[in-house]
Structure 1
Amino acid sequence: MSNKTMQDHSIRRNIHKVALFSIGLLVTLLGYVTYLQVVESNSLSFNPLNRRTAKAALKVERGLITDSHGRIVALSKPTAQEEYKREYPYDVLFAHIVGYDSLTYGKSGIESSYDGYLSGQKNPEHQLGAISQLFKNSAGNNVTLTIDAQLQKVAYQALGANRGAIVVISPKTGAILAMISRPSFDPGSLDANWDNVSQAANSPLLNRATQGLYPPGSIIKVLIAEAALAEQIATGKSEFNCTGALKIGPDYVLPESGNRAHGKLNLEEALAVSCNVTFGQLALDLGRTKMSKSFERYGFSQPLGGDILENPGKLPDFSKLGDGDLAQTGIGQGSLLVTPLRMAMLAATFANRGIMMKPYLVQKITTPDGTVISETSPEKWLSPVEAKLANQVSRMMVTVVKEGTGNKAAIQGIEVAGKTGTAENPHGSPHAWFIGFAPADNPQIAVAVIIENSGSGGSIAAPAAHEVLVQALR
């Protein structure tokens, strides 16, 4: 073979390699562009750092956010600059649910999590890239919440000037009917007041209902009662003897509130008077493994997901707890921390015969002409307790309100089930708790109330729950 022929062959081979390499690069590039357009398009478009999208959205009339009855809680109005500005007619009432929409400080709440729908950019054509501009909407889609604005207002007023939170939930569906956190803020004036709001010592930006972590105190005793019955540690006829304090080991004493000795009582009576000695002993009898298993059954170690941004609670490492700390967990103290939302879900589980529904805030999404894009269907999340045991604990909770510490939550003519709690904390006065539901024989509403540093759950939180339950059952 001549040198010229060899050179020609070598050149053709090299051209072939370069061609294959170029084709490979082209295929890789096309694959990556396709990935960005199809898989990552929404996350990139609606990323809070994407200023281009945020600026362009000002030219679009953002969709309405309404309560469950169609009352407008967020809308867009045109400005002199031919842009749109967000307005919030209910001011502080919906701030932690709806959130805010600011070009400077970004978005939060429903304004953030449903931004694609509200801005009109989230649609099937969006994945077509630049071609999607041909389908661009002049107005965004509307979001209907599960919240009732009237109930929201009553819950806000029930907290008074106190810091705290109230969550109201439908036990049968998981729909959140009210969710209040105080102190709150006005999302419509946030740009002008950002420094004051963001640096305030009382943390008005914090949604205490889903992100505040608190020791549950005695409201956790309904879970401990069910665990003791489920594990056959106790029965409805078991008898306990409260001497005013529970001695644990050689040098640890779990005191009764006010050092009061309740004497002999059964499990229902112990729950009604919130006997620390009884429930501390039940925690010890259950032991570390069964206590851990009981909390896991109720989903305390599982994230909720969905449209609710929740701070995960904190469970103790039961395997490492000493006897004193284990007993403390049985009365809702120690290192156990929960959100008010989870406590509302706990009450709703007993109300719903042992089935825990997944909570949700958005009822449906519709186009500007009213066409339904998506609608939320109730979804069972967990089944932590058998119906028979759930009913047994529910009857005990009725006794708490009829004859025990929860009497200020009672409603004339309607049977209410509940449990009070007074949670000690190292940063000040105790937190006041109440969880419950009504009517007890056909529950429509479950509620959790926490009022920070305010004292007794029976005297402070139970009356607030009463106001909310009365409004909800009208």
Structure 2
Amino acid sequence: MNTTLRRLSTVVMAMFLALMVSTTWIQFVTAGDLNEDPRNFRNIYSELGRDRGPIVVGGEPIVTSEPVDDDYKYQRTYSGGDAGAASVYAPLTGFFAVTGTYTGLERFANGYLGGEDDSLWLDRLQNLITGEEAQGSSVELTIDPKVQQAAWDALGDYTGAAVALDPKTGAILAMVSKPSFDPNSIAVHNAGDATAAYNELLNQKPRVNSEDGEERFSTYGPTINRTINATYPPGSAFKLLTSAAAIEYNGVTPDSEIPAEVIYQLPGTTGPNGQVGNFGGEPCDASGKMTLKAALAMSCNTAFLDLANEVGKDGMQRMFQDFGFTESLEIPMTTTIGAYPGLIGGDEDDDSDARISLSGIGQGSVRITPLQVAMISAAVANDGDLMEPYLIKDVRDSDLELVSQTKPSRYKSPFSSSTADALTEMMVEVVNNGSGKGAQIQGVQVAGKTGTAEDNPRSPTLWFTSFAPADDPQVAVAVVLENQGQSTNETTGGALASPIARQIMQAAISR
């Protein structure tokens, strides 16, 4: 073989080798990324060309795939195409669009719904052998339709959210976020129309009240699930966590007397700018002291400012972390972490004594989600054991055979059962004789806590969190009304949010 032929052979072999490496790389190494790339319309045709599994609530499908006579073969349909009914569940279900965008459960349970999860390999093998059309699995949720509807109706026209948990298992019984949207408008089979509908939703921001009289808008639009992906200042609802830290770490009891001055000077500050008073500027007790139970019942700001300072940075940060609030959950949607001074998500460079003290009343840089607030009540209700919240009850294949079933598991144990008992006693007092009377249910003892959080320049954000019955808890609830307060007694968390929580608890107890 002459030199020219050898060189040509070498070049040809190198080209074949490059082709083999390139093909192997595309087919095996990057195949997953290419399949998931939203620009890969071949994948979209494949996804919508199969009978995608339903999402089920209370034994009835709320999301289905209907056969249609077009290139996609199936139309994803939410609540039978009823816009109003679909809106009740939209922040949960999300949508599946021909543009390759999918959100909510449509995204985070896509492996099951699309029939591609590793646990469904036997079904895929059978389809390959028989030549039958691939089908997705049904995903049944823990949501109770009665509780979900009660939460939806009770929230009315408010901008806000409500979430209900079974404190003994962590199952999510209701998850409502308002304003909502109609996913059917985005699931259309025209890419241009789908994009236009989605962009319109992204640009919508509901108008909220302001303290300065100027027009203000929420930072969260209708496509954001406010229960898990919106964070707010928790205000006085956070006094539960402050109380838990004081009882668990400092040996305080519900009957311990703590300072409750008219005005509290934040540590390390001087002058009026560092002074914080009570709601309405009223004294909590003429003596300047009161029991922890009484302070929580009337939601005395100065008492909890001082209490957080006594617990200190290490104790307050530890309790926040022991609840898991600096960690994301997969329920299966990913939840947003909370924010606390000195911790990830908060003012990491500002954990001064003043900031820690201010956090005792849920102000300053503290931010948490409604789900996290419900988790505080759930931990109290379950003797200090916080169960991991979950949304998927079980998954069944196209033959209705059980593929997977969620087993309740403990997530955290932020405090002891004795601390939980003390907090329960105090929360019962809040509802019986304190700021949470609006949550009272005849014949049922309710434990709860109000919250009215300053959110300047917007109006106060209102809270109520609770569980019932207090002696045998069946449901833990959190309600948030975004910037719905007006700094008056008639627009506090106790006045507006607690009646909403009452209706949700009533629906859960009467299931």
Normalised to the residue count of structure 1, the TM-score between the two structures is 0.89
Q: 1:256 aligns with which of 265, 269, 278?
A: 278
Which residue in the other structure is 2:243 paired with?
225
1:169 matched to 2:165: yes
Unaligned runs of 5+ in 2: 80-84, 187-193, 207-220, 343-347, 486-491
In 2 relative to 1, CA 238–313 (structure 1 residues): closer, same or farther, beyond 3 Å? Answer: same
2:426 to 377, 386, 396: 396
Structure-2 change in CA distance of 1:437 and 1:42 (3 Å): farther
Q: Specify the alignment match of 1:113 in structure 2.
A: 108
* Pairing partner for 1:281 from 295, 299, 306: 306
- Alignment correspondent of 2:500: 464
Task: Please list the CA deviations of residues 222-268 of structure 1 after superposition, one character each: whole Å capped at 9, or x if unmatched.
Answer: 11111011112533332124232112343221111111112131011
Which residue of 473, 484, 490 maps to 1:443? 473
Q: Would you say how many aligned residue pairs link Structure 1 and Structure 2?
A: 461
Question: How far 1:86 sits from its partner (Å)?
Answer: 1.1
| 2:160 is the alignment partner of 1:142 | no
What one-letter code is carried by the residue in structure 1 that aligns with 2:461? Answer: H
Q: Does the 8 A contact of 1:241 with 1:262 survive in 2?
A: no
Compared with structure 1, are the counterparts of its residues 119 and 281 closer, same or farther at alpha carbon in structure 2 (3 Å cutoff)? same
The reply to whether residue 76 of structure 1 matches residue 65 of structure 2 is yes
- C-alpha change, 1:233 and 1:349, in structure 2 (3 Å) is same
Whether the 8 Å contact between 1:125 and 1:135 is mirrored in structure 2 is no
Q: Is the 8 A contact 1:254 1:324 kept in 2?
A: no
Deviation at 1:112, TM superposition (A): 1.2
2:254 and 2:426 in contact (8 A); partners too: no
Q: What residue identity is the alignment partner of 1:113?
A: F
Matched with 1:52 is: 42
Secondary structure of 2:250's match? coil
Structure 2 length-normalised TM: 0.83
CA distance in structure 1 between the aligned counterparts of 2:198 and 2:129, rounded to whole angstroms: 34
Q: Which residue of 1 aligns with 2:292?
A: 267
Counterpart code for 2:95: Y
Give the alignment's Cα RMSD to 1 decimal: 3.0
Give 1:153 deviation, angstroms: 1.3
Q: Note if 1:344 corresponds to 2:374.
A: yes
SS in 2 for 1:235: coil
Q: Using the TM superposition, give the Cα deviation of residue 120 of structure 1 relative to its aligned residue in structure 2, in angstroms.
A: 2.4
> Are 1:377 and 2:407 matched, yes or no?
yes
Q: Which residue of 2 aligns with 1:182?
A: 178
Measure the CA separation in 2 of the matches of 1:43 and 1:351: 44
SS in 2 for 1:106: coil
Is residue 41–residue 100 contact of structure 2 (8 Å, CA) maintained in 1? Answer: no
Which residue of the other structure, out of 444, 447, 453, is the alignment partner of 1:417?
A: 447
Q: Would the alpha carbon gap of residues 382 and 30 (structure 1) be closer, same or farther in structure 2, given more than 3 Å must change?
A: farther
Q: Out of 437, 448, 451, which is 1:407 matched to?
A: 437
Q: Which amino acid aligns with 1:160?
A: G
Q: C-alpha distance in 1, partners of 2:159/2:404?
A: 36
Equivalent residue for 1:199? 203
Preserved CA contact (<8 Å) 1:154 1:468: yes
Does structure 2 conserve the Cα–Cα contact (< 8 Å) formed by 1:46 and 1:115?
no
The within-5 A match list for 1:33-48 is 36=29, 44-48=34-38
Residues in 2 aligned to 1:138 and 1:243: alpha-carbon distance in whole angstroms: 69
- Larger Cα Rg: Structure 1 or Structure 2? 1
Question: C-alpha displacement at 1:143, in angstroms?
Answer: 0.8
Q: Residue 368 of structure 1 corresponds to which residue in structure 2? A: 398
Q: Is the 8 A contact 2:259 2:306 kept in 1?
A: no
Q: In 1, are the aligned partners of 2:154 and 2:500 still within 8 Å (CA)?
A: yes
Which residue is equivalent to 2:386?
A: 356
Equivalent of residue 292 in structure 1, options 289, 301, 317: 317
Task: Describe the SS at the equivalent of 1:415.
Answer: coil
Q: Distance in 2 between matches of 1:404 and 1:117?
A: 47
Preserved contact between residue 261 and residue 303 of structure 2 (Cα < 8 Å): no
CA drift at 1:32? 5.1
Moved more, 26-35 or 84-93: 26-35
Contact 2:461 2:483 in 1 (8 A): yes
Deviation at 1:138, TM superposition (A): 3.8
Identify if the C-alpha distance between structure 1 residues 144 and 274 changes in structure 2 by more than 3 Å, giving closer, same or farther: same
User: How far 1:195 moved relative to its partner?
Assistant: 3.7
Counterpart CA distance in 1 for 2:493 and 2:242 is 18
- Letter paired with 1:269: A
In 2, Cα distance between equivalents of 1:444 and 1:316? 33
Q: Which residue of 2 aligns with 1:211?
A: 229
Identity of aligned residues (%): 36
What is the SS of the residue equivalent to 1:281? helix
CA distance in 2, matches of 1:44, 1:340: 36
Q: Judging changes above 3 Å, is the alpha-carbon distance between structure 1 residues 235 and 329 closer, same or farther for their aligned structure 2 residues?
A: same
Instruction: Tell whether the 8 Å contact from 2:341 to 2:355 is kept in structure 1 after alignment.
Output: no
Aligned to 2:483: 453
CA distance in 2, matches of 1:62, 1:133: 20
Residues 91-130 of structure 1 aligned to structure 2 (within 5 Å): 91-104=86-99, 106-123=101-118, 125=121
Q: 5+ unaligned residues in a row in structure 1: which ranges? A: none
Instruction: Flag as ranges the 4+ runs of structure 1 deviating above 4 A.
Output: 20-35, 40-44, 123-129, 131-136
Is the Cα–Cα contact under 8 Å of residues 124 and 134 in structure 2 kept in the other structure? no
**Alignment check: 8 A CA contact 2:166 2:474 kept:** yes
Q: Hey, what's the Cα distance between the residues in 2 that align with 1:81 and 1:334?
A: 55
Question: For 1:236, what is the secondary structure of its paired residue?
Answer: coil
| Deviation string, structure 1 residues 393-447 (Cα, Å, up to 9, x no partner) | 1111111111100110011111111100001001311011011101111111001
Cα separation, 2, equivalents of 1:467 and 1:127: 44
Structure 1 counterpart of 2:211: none
Between the aligned partners of 1:27 and 1:85, the Cα distance in structure 2 is 39
Shift of 1:459: 0.3
